[in-house]
Amino acid sequence: MIDINELNGFLNVNKPSGMTSYDVIRHIKRISNFKGKIGHTGTLDPLASGVLVICIGSATKKAGKFLAMEKEYLATMLLGTTTDTDDIQGKIIETKKIDDTTLDIDLINKTIHSFIGEIQQVPPSVSALTRQGVRLYKLHRQGRPVIPEARKVFIYEIDVKKVEIPRVVFKVVCSRGTYIRALCRDIGRKLGYGAVQEALIRTRVGFFSIEQSITLDQLKKDGIKKYLMNTNII
């Protein structure tokens, strides 16, 4: 067992798709045999991969400082499909054939860029948000879905990287609380076809980038201490 006083700092982990954010914490606890406090600074959906900043020991006291940091994502949006979760894993509500004679790259670009700035966003009804102390995804599983209230978020940048209808790949830099699933949904609605998030990579949280991130395999092979960043970096 590692002494709780020996490990304090941050890990920039590249979360693989298919794991929950807490799965990553459990994995780190298991491979390190560390019994102290471990947390993360912002949930990534199981479908998503990329930067997940892990706080260890005294660094958990600074987790709140990450909330104000901007986030950067690379998203793949699938047009013509609507689901109850706003991503590809949900129950299909509607599909719509795309008329590529009217839906061109210029219209897609113009529509996507119209979301830059402050927007009112309704979070997905399947999320880790709570209603009367119960997670929305649990209410959804119980057959009691809740539509959350709209809230203010800020989209700083959007850059369309690739368009191969029905798929659109774009980079987005946004504020805390922004759901990229909901952004895809709303872009699709504005285009008149609906859309879901098909894939998502978080490429940056503040100054923690995916290029500098480490995998769970690296942690298992080399140990945590090699990659632990000092708490004084923020």
Output phi, psi for 63, to 5 deg. -60, -35
Q: What's the pLDDT score for residue 200?
A: 98
Tell me whether residue 2 is in a domain. no
Question: Is 4 a member of any domain?
Answer: no
Q: Residue 172 class from Cβ within 10 Å (0-12 exposed, 13-18 middle, 19+ buried)?
A: buried
| Domain shared by 102 and 195, yes or no | yes
Same domain, 134 and 150: yes
**Could you tell me the CATH number of the domain that includes residue 161?**
3.30.2350.10
Q: Are residues 134 and 145 in the same domain?
A: yes
Domain identity same for 34 and 149:
no
List the domain range (segments joined by +) for residue 220: 9-68+207-233
Tell me: do 54 and 152 sit in the same domain: no
Residues of the chain with pLDDT > 70, as a percent, come to 93
Whether 214 and 197 share a structural domain: no
Q: Tell me: pLDDT of 94 over 80.
A: yes
> 1 lies in a domain?
no
Q: Is 45 a catalytic residue?
A: yes
Out of 32-46, 84-98, 126-140, pick the least confident: 126-140
pLDDT value at residue 139: 67
The answer to whether residue 3 sits within a structural domain is no
Lowest-confidence region among 31-40, 145-154, 169-178: 145-154
Asked whether residue 36 is assigned to any structural domain, the reply reads yes
* 105 plus 29 within the same structural domain: no
Q: How many domains does the chain have?
A: 2
| 23 plus 86 within the same structural domain | no
Q: How far is CA 125 from CA 112, 142, 220, in A?
A: 22, 13, 36
pLDDT of residue 140: 66
Mean pLDDT of the chain: 91
| Same domain (yes/no): 100, 201 | yes
- Residues 47 and 159 reside in one and the same domain: no
| Residue 14: CB atoms within 10 Å | 20
Q: What pLDDT score does 135 carry? A: 73
Both 190 and 169 in one domain: the answer is yes
Residue 117 lies in a domain: yes
Asked if the structure places residue 62 within a domain, the reply is: yes
Q: Residues 3, 23, 45, 104: which is the catalytic one? A: 45
Q: Is 58 helix (H, G, I), strand (E, B) or coil?
A: helix
Q: CA separation (Å) from 69 to 10, 64, 225?
A: 15, 10, 25
Do 158 and 100 belong to one domain? yes
